[in-house]
Copies of this chain bind each other. A is one copy, B any other.
Amino acid sequence: MRVHDIRFPTSRTLDGSDAMNPDPDYSAAYVELLTDDGLTGYGLTFTIGRGNDVCVAAIEAMRSYVVGQAVDTVDLGEFARRLTHDSQLRWLGPEKGVMHLAAAAVINAVWDLTARRAGLPLWRLLSAYTPDQTVDLIDWRYLTDALTPAAAVDLLTDRVAGRGQRAAEISVAGYPAYTTSAGWLGYDDAKVTRLAQEAVADGFDMIKLKVGADIEDDLRRFRAARSAVGSGVRIAVDANQRWDVPEAIDWMKRLAPLDPYWIEEPTSPDEVLGHAAIRTGLREAGPGGRPIRVATGEHVHNRVMFKQLLQADAIDVVQIDACRVGGVTENLAILLLAAAFGKPVCPHAGGVGLCELVQHFSFYDYVAVSGSLDGRHLEYVDHLHEHFVDPVVIRDGRYLAPERPGFSAQMRSDTLTRYAFPDGPEWRVQ
């Protein structure tokens, strides 16, 4: 196992700026798993700069669980459960924060390797599993009051018949996307207007704006974006956890006349009750008395929190993240929970490699879990894809199906050299 601290100096251009993250340097703790038969597995976890080294240290603390495993016999469910339930490491979470980000990188690398060995893109590998095989991969601890393994098998079994047809269909049509590239908080109105118009010209029917720092600025930028795209294009807004509960409701009522499609991360990601209160408070706040949808998930730290957000009917949109929770296996659990509660999954993407990773979950969800595109929009941000060997491809506002074997997580070797922190050439010139 090799672990790399890779950082991109994105703060120099305010790409990725929002109300809580004014100056991110998009970064990855990046894992390579080398095997005797010559194949390598790649995984990563995403951070925004400082502390990426702490994630590297956390991945190193898991080394004994990884090195020496026989790739052809490893039980991937058991592997993830052992990693996240190590009796001493568990104290540092459990299943949250740095240790869980680290677990994601390691678990994702093992899945990348497994998919490469199978000669399949991850979404097709997962789509080929039987319901029983799928359910066996999941850590059911703390879930059974909301969803039992047996009920999950039933849910998956109901979708088996249409799998082949949906896979064929989605691999031609692609998966619907929206773009956040127009709306970073650090961009001025002219840039927002120009980028919003370009997004529509590129085929997107949904964009997202960052809000939450100043209500007057938000109103002005939102009006500029709405003027640029017209009423037929969805505009979601994202406050990146900036507000307390009462403030979230008041602020969104101010923005409501501009028809926000959803409000994302209105408050702390830990807020089960708070999101429920906000959703109730905005139930009739949209134009024509329609509800304003509530979305969250990129910082929701594990399946237990997602379960509660669903049990409390606190959100309308489930935003999974490829690296925040425990990688592929925990995301399978969250996809199943969302399907069981009838809520659409719209993954968080952007960052470093998150588009490359989460696209596999959305294609898989359509084929084998929810079987639906209703209310589904996969985030797209057009940064940093040039650093990946198998980058996402967007056409007419849709993700084209990734077809190369693996989990699309491999970075280019010159990127690993150039952006190595702190000794790579991109950082030494500072």
Binary flags per residue of A274-316, CB closer than 8 Å to B gives 1, else 0 = 1001000000000000000000000101101100100110000
The answer on a CB contact under 8 Å between A51 and B142 is no
Is the pair B142, A274 in contact by a Cβ cutoff of 8 Å?
Answer: yes
A93 proximity list for chain B (CB < 8 A): 97
CA distance A412 to B99 in the complex (A): 30
User: How near does chain B come to A83, taking the closest CB pair, in angstroms?
Assistant: 12
Within 8 Å CB of A348, what residues of B?
A: none
**A54 in the interface (beta carbon within 8 A):** yes
A101 within 8 A of B: yes
Which residues of B have CB within 8 Å of A144? 244-247
A88 to B48: give the CA distance in the assembly, Å: 5
8 Å CB contacts to B: which residues of A316-353? none
A396 at the interface (CB under 8 A from B): no
- Name the one of B53, B271, B311 contacting A142, with C-beta atoms under 8 angstroms: B271
A61 is an interface residue with CB less than 8 A from chain B: yes
Closest chain B CB from A301 CB (angstroms): 7
Q: Is there contact, CB below 8 Å, between B86 and A246?
A: no
Q: Which partner residue on chain B sits nearest A91 by CB separation?
A: B48
The answer to whether A88 and B24 touch across the interface, beta carbons within 8 angstroms, is yes
Whether the Cβ atoms of A55 and B97 lie closer than 8 Å is no
Q: Which of A15-23, A70-78, A177-185 contacts B (4 or more CB under 8 A)?
A: A15-23
Q: Is the CB of A246 within 8 A of B145?
A: yes
Known pairs A145-B244, A271-B308; A54 contacts B58 (CB<8 A): yes
Which stretch (A104-112, A262-270, A375-383) binds chain B? Answer: A262-270
Do residues B47 and A88 form an inter-chain contact, with CB atoms below 8 A?
yes
B304 touches A268 (CB 8 A): yes
**A244→B142 contact, CB < 8 A:** yes
- CB-defined contacts of A145 to chain B, threshold 8 Å: 244-246, 274, 277
Q: Is A241 an interface residue (CB 8 A)?
A: yes
A51 to B247, CA, bound (A): 38
Cross-chain contact of A23 among B87, B94, B245, B312 (Cβ < 8 A): B87
Q: Tell me how far the C-beta of A282 lies from the nearest C-beta in chain B, rounded to whole angstroms.
A: 15
A48 surroundings in chain B (CB, below 8 A): 87-88, 91
Question: Is B57 within 8 A of A54, CB to CB?
Answer: yes
Cβ of B97 and Cβ of A304 under 8 Å apart?
no
Within the complex, what minimum Cβ distance (angstroms) separates A252 from chain B? Answer: 15
Q: How far is the CA of A247 from the CA of B140 in the complex (A)?
A: 13
Q: Which of A49, A92, A272, A274 has the most CB of B within 10 A?
A: A92
Residues of B close to A31: CB separation below 8 A: none
Closest to A92 in B: B51
Say whether A221 faces chain B, with CB atoms less than 8 Å apart.
no
A80 at the A/B interface (Cβ < 8 Å)? no
Chain B residues whose C-beta falls within 8 Å of the C-beta of A246 in the assembled complex: 144-145
Given contacts A51-B88, A141-B244, A270-B301, 9 further A-B contacts (CB under 8 A): A48-B87, A50-B86, A51-B89, A54-B54, A54-B57, A54-B92, A96-B301, A145-B246, A273-B311
- 7 example contacts (A-B, Cβ-Cβ < 8 A) are as follows A21-B88, A51-B88, A141-B268, A142-B245, A142-B274, A270-B301, A274-B308
